Amino acid sequence: MTELHGTYEPRFHATRAALRRNLDSGKELGASLVVDIDGERVIDLWGGFRDPARTVAWDEHTITNVWSVTKTVTSLAALMLVDRGDLDVHAPVARYWPEFGANGKQDVEVRHLLSHTSGVSGLDQPATIEDLYDTERAAARMAAQAPWWAPGTASGYHLFSFGHLIGELVRRVSGRPLKEFVAEEIAGPLGADFRIGAAERDRSRIADVVPPPPLPFDLEALGKDSPAYRTLTGPSVTADVANTPGWRAADIGAANGHGNARSVARILSVLARGGEVDGVRLLGERTIDLVFDVQADGIDLVNGLPLRWGIGYALPRRDTLPWIPDGRICFWGGWGGSMIIMDLDRRMTISYMMNKMAPGILGSDRSAAYVQAVYDHLP
């Protein structure tokens, strides 16, 4: 039987049991799960292994690449600048980043970047993973591109470009690279074990990701001029790149954040708790309200899912993830099934991070089981 550690309130025994079953069956390799309700960790569990050979235990301080959960922290960084009055979501991006106004993008607004509706969802060809590692150069290339669809008319998931676009705005406005801003303004003040990229000193406690089966995409069938094809090949990325030194050293605010369920919950609970965590205020209520200003609601042009986007975060649609209820809730997930959910009605944050990636585009049967079990045992 795989060891499972941590604490939980007895009312959440079914959630713990679901995690235990998946660890014992091998569906999970290593994982961490946290539920925070108004500052109390009612679930704080971790267990399994960091390696496929099952020789190194996933312990309390294990971290892993959290893929697109990183976007939720990057969005928070931008919203903090909005809250300070340094950034306006309704202003043209070119006000802060003049070069971005090239090629018909002069009217693209900050909110369009934060809701995946800008039309700049990837790099024009040629594009390689190494291009993303030169953060400023990649951002400059995106600024020079023409949009791939009419900005503001639909969402097209900004798979990797999200981090470079928002990151460049953060750099222009704050004077600091995104990974530095996150370290000094978010993770540091909150005491959260999270960073964009990964430090060499943390190498020994990183759980390598285990790639999933291939995504169910026939790229050629998408059509080479489609936003989906252009995004998924601009650049093409395989999951095992997350285990390489180049990836870990980069500043990819869309996908190379490293943390665990506890640290991600610590950071994102700021939304569920009214903008303040243990005396550290990052956002005001008016800025949090912006998250729920719907920017797109329909079939995403890149990932093909029915999605409802607010400013910076997805909002519930029962036809996409039926296990996330309606209400004042915002969320997003990472490739392979990791999930961060902020339920403002209940002042609750659900955070699940793991290393064995499941198939699919958003969420997994595992994340669904844990989240459903949590909600089943709430008043």
Backbone φ, ψ for residue 124 (5° rounding): -60, 150
> Pseudo-torsion of CA 5, 276, 110, 350, nearest 10°?
30
- Comparing 217 with 131, the larger pLDDT belongs to 131
Q: Is residue 212 pLDDT above 80, yes or no?
A: yes
- Per DSSP, helices labelled H in the chain are 13-25, 70-83, 93-96, 110-114, 129-133, 135-144, 161-174, 178-181, 188-190, 219-222, 227-232, 245-249, 261-272, 285-290, 365-376
Q: Is residue 132 pLDDT above 90, yes or no?
A: yes
Residue 379 confidence (pLDDT): 83
Q: Determine the average pLDDT of the residues in 291-308.
A: 98
Q: What is the token pair recorded at 343?
A: 């339920």
Q: Determine the average pLDDT of the residues in 45-60.
A: 97
DSSP, residue by residue, 230-271: HHHTTT---GGGGGSHHHHHS--TTTBEEE-HHHHHHHHHHH
Q: 261-286, pLDDT tens digit by residue?
A: 999 999 999 999 999 999 999 999 99
Q: Is residue 350 pLDDT above 80, yes or no?
A: yes
Taking the C-alpha atoms of residue 20 and residue 1, their distance in angstroms, rounded to an integer, is: 9
Q: Is residue 215 pLDDT above 90, yes or no?
A: no
pLDDT band at 120 (very low <50, low <70, confident <90, very high): very high
Q: Is residue 216 pLDDT above 70, yes or no?
A: no
Taking the C-alpha atoms of residue 92 and residue 84, their distance in angstroms, rounded to an integer, is: 18
> Please, what is the Cα angle at 210 between 53 and 207, to 5 degrees?
70
User: Average per-residue pLDDT in the chain?
Assistant: 97
Q: Is residue 25 pLDDT above 80, yes or no?
A: yes
pLDDT band at 217 (very low <50, low <70, confident <90, very high): low
Q: 159-195, pLDDT tens digit by residue?
A: 999 999 999 999 999 999 999 999 999 999 999 999 9
Q: Determine the average pLDDT of the residues in 209-222.
A: 83
- Structural domains in the chain, CATH included, are 4-376 (3.40.710.10)
> Shortest CA distance to 121 belongs to which of 232, 277, 10?
232
